[in-house]
Amino acid sequence: MQAIIDADEVLQARVAELYKDKTLTNDDRVQRLADLINARSEEVALNELIQPIKQAQSQKRKRNPTRAQRISEMKVYLMHQGCYKSAQLRGMTYDEIERLYYRIKRYVDKFIPMGTLVTCYFIKVEN
């Protein structure tokens, strides 16, 4: 049982807290220790089952969006930020939409809200 506790750092911390509690009797302490070990072993087993699923999901999420998804995202951005209507964007090609998208995005990114502290350095040009 000591080998199980020594192998797991989380379990070591919980056991240390258990031994610090002076209000527990030895029987209560043994019962809680057994419960901790069982709960932790179930937790570790569950993590071992879930880990491959999480890895597969993260790999799936890493895929780049398709061209149609990218066009859709750019159109939504242009309609919300660029005040374009859906009818205006409907007949455009991917390159035209992309060019508009980056123009509006640069404009929005340059915006500085009022009340923010902006330090400007002016260079004096002498003639």
pLDDT in tens, 91-102: 999 999 999 999
Q: Rounded to whole angstroms, how far apart are CA atoms 94 and 26? A: 73
Q: Is there a contact between 89 and 99 (Cβ–Cβ < 8 Å)?
A: no
pLDDT in tens, 58-112: 777 777 889 999 999 999 999 999 999 999 999 999 999 999 999 999 999 888 7
81 and 51 assigned to the same domain: no
Asked whether 78 and 100 are in contact (CB, 8 A), the reply is yes
The domain of 44 spans 2-61
Domain-embedded: residue 126? no
Query: In this structure, are residues 63 and 71 in contact, taking their beta carbons and an 8 Å threshold?
Result: no
Which of 46, 61, 76 is at the close of a domain? 61
E strands present in 1-127: none
Domain count, the chain: 2
